[in-house]
Amino acid sequence: LDFYKNEIYPRHLKSFPLFGLEPHGFWTPSSEISHKLYVLVSYPKDVEPSEVVRKYMKSCEFAADIRGFDPKTIVSVETTFLRPTDSSPIR
């Protein structure tokens, strides 16, 4: 988990913008026993997020990002689309 947090995610900061993805942060739960990672990302307007993710995950940039990481260790991936409220500082 530390390798992913400290090596992989910083690589995403350079590749995400190439696909129109704007990362707002990476988080882990405060519990030490949890092996979850959370990412808040904005997508470009008028695009299908799943299409952007599909293109990114098939790209050579993504392959370079995950270099040294065994993708078989990923148990699941969940996506939740959020809508900002009128008073949200992130829009």
pLDDT tens digits for 2-42? 777 788 888 999 999 999 999 998 888 887 667 778 888 98
Q: Does the pLDDT of residue 59 top 80, yes or no? A: yes
Angle at 69 between CA 16 and CA 10, to 5 degrees: 35
Q: Comparing 66 with 36, which gets the higher pLDDT?
A: 66
pLDDT of residue 65: 92
Mean pLDDT of 81-86: 87
Helix, strand, coil shares of the chain, percent, nearest 5, are: 40, 10, 50
What's the pTM?
0.75
Higher pLDDT, 74 or 52: 52
